[in-house]
Structure 1
Amino acid sequence: MMLKNPFALRNEQIIMIEDVPLEERGLDCNCICPACREPFIARMGEIKVHHFAHSGKGCNELNAYMMGLYMIVDEYIKKGNPVLLPAINIIYQKSEYSFITEENIYDKIRITSEDVNGSNVINCTSRKLIVFEESEIISNDGKPEAIIASWHDHKLAIRITPPDTACAYGKVSRYKDYSTLELNLSGEGTRIQECTKEKLFEYLRRNERIYNWLYNAHVEEQFPLIIERSKIYYNEQQEKIRIRNEKIAQEVRERALHEKMEQEKRERERLERLKAAQEKAAKEARERAIRINQEKAARQERFKNSFRTERLKNPDRIINYWVNDIQKRDPGRDEIGCIVCGKDKLLEEFMSTGIISNVFTGMCIDCYEEISSAHLENLWENIYD
C-alpha cells in the first residue's frame, strides 16, 4: 500500500487532512510540507483516502510523514497534555545452576509495565502521568530522530514507531543515553489517516498501551540488587542441592550397609544351619557307632556265654573238635563248620589268630571280624586253662 501523508503545515501550525474543509482542497489548502516546506496539495476526492502530496518534486514522502507525526506529538506535549510514563517492573531469571553477572544481565531480565509480583520481580517505578515543561524535536538531515521532553530537571527521549504503512522506517530503539519512551502507533494507520487533530490528541490521552519503555536509567540502578539477589538465590539453591545430594548419598550408603548386614545375617544363618546339620550328623554317627559297639559287645557277650556253656558241658569237645578234626581230618573232607555261626565253610574261609601254631580258631572270617583279637586271646587262654 502506498504511503498517504495526512500531515501538513499551515501558518506554522501542524494540521491533519481531516481538519481541511472540502472547499479548500487542492492548492487552496495553503499548506506546505513539514519536512522540506514545499507546497502541498490537499487531495480530498471521493475514491482515494484523503491525503497531502507535494505539488512539485518535493522530498521523500516517508520523511514528510514522519516529520508531521513527530510535530503533532510535539504539539500535543507543548499544549500541556499529559504523557503516560508506564510502570517499570524488572523480571529477572533465577537459576540454581548459574547467577546473573554484569556481562549477561541484559539477557537475563525483561522489563514490563504490567502489574506483576514475585520473588524475581523488582518494582522500580509506578505508573505516572507527566505534563512536560518543554519539548524539542531532534532531527538529522531532515529526518526526525526523537523528541526530547523535560520536567523538573529531568529529561527523556520519546521515539515514535509509525504505522505499518511506513514499515520502511524500521524499528526504533534507545536514543543515546536518554531514558527512552516509545510511542507505538504501529497498528493505528487507518485511525491516524481518518481522524482530526483533536481526535488524535484524545486518543493519545486515553490509550495507555501505546506507551512503552525502550530504556530507563532506573533499570540499571537496580542491576547491583539484581546481581546480589541472583547470587543469593544461586547459593541457596546450591546449598539445597548439596544437602539433597548428601541425603541421597547417605541413603545409598545406608541401603548398601543394610544390604551388607542382611547378606551377613543370611550367611550366619546358613553357617548356623550347616553347623547344626553337621552336629546332628556327628551326633547321629556317634549314636550309631555306640549302638553298633553295643550290639557287637552284646554279640560277643552272647558268644562268650555260649562258649563257656559249651565248655562246661563238654570241655574236650572244642579242643578235640579242632585239634583232632583239623590235624587228623579225613583228607577227602573239604568243609568244616564255624563254631560261631555253625555254617560249613571251606578251609580257606577260616583264618588263624597267629597265636596258636597250626591250630585254627574255628571261626570263619566274617565272624572273626566281629570279635576283637584281644578277646580271642583271652578266650583261648580260658580254653587252655
Structure 2
Amino acid sequence: PKAPPAPPKVDNTVAQGKTSTGAQPVSKPAAPVKTAGPDKTPQGDSFKKPTPNAEASSSSSRPNINAHDLQGPQVQAPKLSESEVQDLAMGRTPGKGKAAPVRPEIQKVAEEMKAEVPGSEILRYTDQGGHPMLKKPNLPSGTQDGVCSAMTSEWIRTGIEAGGDPKKGSQAFGKLTDNHFGGLIDKQHAESLQSNSLTKLNNEHMSAVSKFQDSVEQLKDKRAQRNEINELLTNPDLTPDERQGLKQQRAELNQEFKAGMAQLNQDKEALEHKQAAMQSLTDDFRTGRGGGNPGVRVQDYEPIEGSTFGQKLFDGTKEDGHYRMGLRKPGESADGHVIGLHKTDGKSRLMDANTAEWQTNSHKDLVNLTAEHIDRLYPDYKSFDLTRYN
C-alpha cells in the first residue's frame, strides 16, 4: 500500500501588500521563488482539493470574517483625569498606579517608631522627600519643601468621604497618592499662592489698623489740649487778648476734633468690613485645608513641652474626627509642618507626609505615635495647633 500523502506545509509568513501610503515595500535580494499556480501556495505547495459538497457548503459552515474583524477589538484612547492632564502639561509623569519606592532611612526610622509603639501598624509609606516628582527641577512655588499640607488636606477629604471608616479612607488615600501625586503638587502650589495673598491682605489690614490707632492717639492729644485751654480760661488774671487767643485756639481744636472723629468713624467702619472679609477668606482657606470641609479650631498654637505635650494632644483630640496638627518653629515667619490625625473609638490613624500612613489600636497609641514623630523627626518645632474636621 502507498503511504498517505504528506500534509501541506504551514508557513506563518503574511504576504505584504501596499502600505497605506501607496508605496511598495522594499524587497531584500533573495533566491528565485517558484511561480505559484492558481492552486498552489507561494512556496509551490499544492492545496488540498475540496470535495464538491464541502465546496458548496463552505459559505454556510464558516463564519463570514472581514478585514475589520481581523484587526482585533477597537480600543479607545484612554481618558486622562484632570490631574493626569495637569501632569502632562507641567512636564511631569502621570501616576502609574504604583507607590513610589520608600527610602531606606525612612523605612528604618518608621520601623523603630513602630517598635516603640506596639499598638501601631504601617499602612503605607508616604515619604514625600523620596518621590521622583518632587526631585524634578523648576517646581512650582510653594512646593520646594514638599506637599505635606496638600497631602494632609486630601487625606482628610478621602477619610471624611469614606464616612469616617478608617479602612475605606486609607484605601481611597492610597489610590490618590499612587495615581495622582501631580495633583498634590498643584494643590500645594495653589494653597501657597492663596496663603501669600492672605498674608499680604493681612499685612495691609494691620497697617490700616496701626494708622487708625495713630489717629485715635492724635485725637486724644487734641482733647487733652482743649481741656488744658478750658482750665486756662478759668484764670481771672488773663488779659482780654490772652483770653481771646485761647478761645480761638479752642475753637480750632474743636473743629479739628470734630472732623477727626468723623473720619475716625468712617475708618472704623471700613476696618470692620475689611475684618469681616478677611475672616471669610480665612474660613475658606481653612476649609480648603480640610479638603473642602469646614473646620473647628480646637487649639491655637501652644508650646510643645515634654511634660505636657502628650496630655494636651490627648485632651485636644478626644472627639472623633479628623485633625490637622500644625507644627511651627520659633519665629514669626518660621518653617512649619503638618500631620494628619484621625481619632475614632476603635482604630485610629496618623498620616505624616514624611513617613507613612499609620493605624493604631487606640487613642492612647495615636498620641504616643505622634509624640514619637515629634521626638525623632521634629525636635526643632516648638509649638502646635489643632483643627478638627468632621
Which of the five TM-score ranges fits, normalised by the shorter chain? under 0.3
Larger radius of gyration: 1
- Which structure shows the bigger proportion of residues in strand conformation? 1
**TM-score by structure 2 length?**
0.26
Greater relative CO (CA pairs within 8 A, separation 6+)? 2
- Tell me the TM-score normalized by structure 1: 0.26
